[in-house]
Structure formats: C-alpha cells, structure tokens
Chains A and B, each alone.
Chain A
Amino acid sequence: MVGPLLKGLRVTFGHLFKPAITVKYPYEKRPVAERYRGRHVLKLDEDGREKCCACGLCEAVCPAGAITLYGAEDPEFKRSDVGKIAEVYEIDYSRCIFCGYCVDACPRGAIIMTTDYELTVPGPGRGHLYKDKNWLFEKRGGE
C-alpha cells in the first residue's frame, strides 16, 4: 500500500524539475507551421492594383458563408488589370472556420492565408469580428 504512494511522490517530484512545456505566451510564441491557416490577406499585384476580380468563387465555396462580396466595374483599369474589382469584400470572422477553401478556389491567387492567429477583438459583441476590405488589405506583421 505504501509503495505505490511513494512511487507517486517520486513521479511528481521528478516533474518539478522538468522544463515546462508551456510558453510565456504574450512574450514568447510557439512557431507555427509554414502552411498554417490564419488571417486572410487580399493581394495586390506589382502595380499596386487589386488582384481580386470579384468572380465570387470564394463566396460560393465558403462552407460557413463567411464571405460577402459585391463586384463593381473599373473601366479605367486603375484599380484592377481586368476592369473589375470587389466593391465590398467582407469576411465575418465569427463564422469563418479557416478551412482555406477560398484560397484554393481563387483562380488569380488574390486571397491567401497568413500565419497570424491573433484575431482577438476588444469589447462585447461580435461586430468587431466583421472585417472589411481595408482591414484585409492592411499589412500587419512582416509580410
């Protein structure tokens, strides 16, 4: 009866001196996989024009229905090389399941996913999780 009790004490004492497997999160982050599916980014081409041509494939394929997209024409080819841009491009991060289908579906590579997983938002309510086009274009971190 006493043997197993002592064995238990030995096990826990051993663990006291093992290095912790947790990390000090805000200061120290775990490395993420190269192909980690995190926050989306809408790409620009070399001339700074939007790659997205508002074909709507990402919206159609999205299993969670998180993407809202309205197209618009761009006759002067200022903002797009095909004359068509997404007027509205919104991702509802309270619905997004980060499956990456939108990235697979996009024929022009206009939407990609980054390794950024820090998507917490302030305040009550989920409105903050509704991200518009500006936010999706925004450059954050080292991209």
Chain B
Amino acid sequence: MIVAIIVVAVKLLILFAVLMLFVAYGTLAERKVSGHIQDRLGPYHCGPHGLLQPLADGLKLFFKEDIVAAESDKILYYLAPMIAIVPAILAIGVIPFGESITLFGRKIDLVVTDINVALLYLLAVSSFSVYAIVFGGWSSNSKYPLLGGLRSAAQFISYELILGLSIMGVIMVVGSFSLVDIVHYQKSMWMVVYQPLAFIIYMIAATAELNRLPFDLPEAESELVGGYHTEYSSMKFAMFFLGEYANMTVTSAVAVCLFLGGWYSPVSFLSWIPGPIWFVVKLVAVFFFLLWLRWTYPRFRYDQLMVFSWKYLLPLALVNILATGGVMILFGGI
C-alpha cells in the first residue's frame, strides 16, 4: 500500500517537473520560433542561444511590483490566476506516456491513473480554464479585461462543443473512453489515418480553447490591450502565462494520445527507442505546430469566429460522426 502511494507520488512529481520544464521552455520556444519566422534571432543573451532565458524571465517576474487594482473584486482577483494553472495539472493525471514497465519486481504503469472515463474527465477539467479567464476579466473592474472575459466565455462554449464532438469519432472507433485503450488501439496504425477530419477539427478547436492565434480574441492585443490579464502584474501574470503554456502542453499530449499513436513508434524498425521518448518527440512536434500556426495566421474577427464554429465546424464534426457510424455499420467496425 505504502509502496503504491510512493510510486504514484514519484510519477506525479516527474510529470509535474516535466510539465514545468515544458512550460519554461515553451515560452522560450515561442520566442525563438517567432523570432526566426520573422527573420530575427529571438532571445540570445542569457546562456548559449538564450537557453537560460526562462530562468531570467522567472526571476524578473518574481521581483516585479505586485499591483492590485484598487476597485477590484479581491477574492476573485486573487483566485483567477490560481485557477489558471489548475486544469493542466489536473489533466496530466490521466495521460499515458509509455507501456507498463517492470521495476524491482513491480509492474508500473506509465500513467498516474488509468480511469475508464479519462476523456470525459479531460473535457470536464479543461472547461475549468474558462473560469480563470472570466474571473480575471470580471474582478479587474476594468473594461478591457471584462470584454476579454466575455469573449472568452462565448468562445469556450462554442469550441468546447466542437472539441467534444471531434473526439466522438475516436471513441466510436475504439469503443472506450480510456486513453490507455485508445493508445493501445493505435499500435499498428495511427488514429489520424482513420479519422483525419476529426484530427483537423480537434486541432482547430484546441487552438481556440487555448486562446491562441488565430483565435486569441480574449487577449487580442490590438483591440483589448492585454485582454483578461490587463490588470495583472508580477507573479499573478506569470501564473496566467504558466497556465497558458501548461494547457498547450496538455492539449498537445492529448492530441498525441488520441490521434498520433501515443508512445508507439511510427515505423517498426525504430521501435527499440523507448515509448516515453517517442511520446515526447510527438508532443514537441504538436507543440511546435501550435507555435507555427500562431506566427502564420492573422486573428479572426469576432463574428467570423462564431460563424466558423457554428456554421462550418459543427456540421463537419457531425458529418464525421455520422460517416464513422455508417462505415462501422456497413463494414462491421474499422
């Protein structure tokens, strides 16, 4: 019993450390990728090729003055940045990153907990992050954050639905909500081959859920100053940032599990490379894709965002579900 608890604690610690590493170097990667896409160099001063920049950023934010907006709703104002990081940390618990290994005679699953409703849990938990943004927007008692928060609420409702529907196809094919089962199903062939449309819809909806360009309306710099975190400074601002990049990492991890074969190697002759390494490689690839998207496309207009969601993506997701169901009935499963 005690050993089991220790094993879970160690797994959680490792996952948390890796998540924080991804967050720190995600910010650096964002700046580096944006720099190189714009023919600049990006951060270069701290360490070789700016590799210590995340440390410098963290220290700087730590020593900044912590300003609390005078007429703000104090409780929600303090609560919002804390909530921002919660969904990502809750979500890492169900993400599998490797086949079970045997260590000192014990069989250890490389997932903190393999619950049978992992995907439902993920969807439920990821909806939390809207509270951070709406609370932040409301409690700041300032017009730009409020507008950002409102936009975010509408955007989340629209795209949450599509995110859920896009995953439906995968669940129908596999017949399980467990992420471990879904990855096992993809041992011979990636899910993206069976469900290409679902993958595209998932990536679009996930980008919208993460409030990243081209869907970054809640924090549209050119119209809303900083959006929902306009009135935040110092570590509270850092928490929002932490949350954003942690959510990116988790969303990429889920995409890898659902569509890109999880920890399995894409070709059989490379299967000697351990699963977790494949998992991280794929995770980095999806993460890079999110950065790449951001520095390529301009922002949607608000009405375009809604039209795109309800008039195009929703019907497409439904068609995907119908087509999957049809094929499964006609051919007796994929």
Which of chain B's residues have a CB closer than 8 A to the CB of A9?
Answer: 292-293, 296
Judging by beta carbons under 8 Å apart, are A16 and B37 in contact?
Answer: yes
Judging by beta carbons under 8 Å apart, are A24 and B292 in contact?
Answer: no
Which of chain A's residues have a CB closer than 8 A to the CB of B37?
Answer: 12, 15-16
Separation in Å of the A91 CB from the closest CB of chain B? 33
Q: Once bound together, how far apart are the Cα atoms of A15 and B35, in whole Å?
A: 10
Q: Once bound together, how far apart are the Cα atoms of A13 and B35, in whole Å?
A: 12
Judging by beta carbons under 8 Å apart, are A20 and B39 in contact?
Answer: yes
Interface presence of A33 (CB below 8 A): no
Residues 1-17 of A contacting B (Cβ, < 8 Å) = 5, 8-9, 11-13, 15-17
Judging by beta carbons under 8 Å apart, are B297 and A20 in contact?
Answer: no
Separation in Å of the B289 CB from the closest CB of chain A? 9
Which of chain B's residues have a CB closer than 8 A to the CB of A11?
Answer: 296
Which of chain B's residues have a CB closer than 8 A to the CB of A24?
Answer: 41, 44
Judging by beta carbons under 8 Å apart, are A21 and B39 in contact?
Answer: yes
Residue-by-residue, is A13-39 near B (CB-CB < 8 Å gives 1, otherwise 0)? Answer: 101111111101000000000000000
Interface size class of chain A, counting residues whose CB lies under 8 Å from the partner chain: 10 to 19
Interface presence of B295 (CB below 8 A): yes
Judging by beta carbons under 8 Å apart, are B292 and A12 in contact?
Answer: yes
Separation in Å of the B134 CB from the closest CB of chain A? 30
Which of chain A's residues have a CB closer than 8 A to the CB of B297?
Answer: 5, 8
Q: Once bound together, how far apart are the Cα atoms of A63 and B151, in whole Å?
A: 53
Residues 245-259 of B contacting A (Cβ, < 8 Å) = none
Closest to B295 in A: A12
Q: Once bound together, how far apart are the Cα atoms of A16 and B288, in whole Å?
A: 12
Residues 33-57 of B contacting A (Cβ, < 8 Å) = 33, 35-41, 44
Separation in Å of the B189 CB from the closest CB of chain A? 24
Which of chain A's residues have a CB closer than 8 A to the CB of B35?
Answer: 20
Judging by beta carbons under 8 Å apart, are B39 and A15 in contact?
Answer: yes
Most buried by A among B41, B44, B292, B296: B296
- Using a CB–CB cutoff of 8 Å, the interface residues on chain B facing chain A are 33, 35-41, 44, 292-293, 295-297
A-B contact pairs, 30 of them (CB 8 A): A8-B296, A8-B297, A9-B292, A9-B293, A9-B296, A11-B296, A12-B37, A12-B292, A12-B295, A12-B296, A13-B292, A15-B36, A15-B37, A15-B38, A15-B39, A16-B33, A16-B37, A17-B36, A18-B36, A18-B39, A19-B39, A20-B35, A20-B39, A20-B41, A21-B39, A22-B39, A22-B40, A22-B41, A24-B41, A24-B44
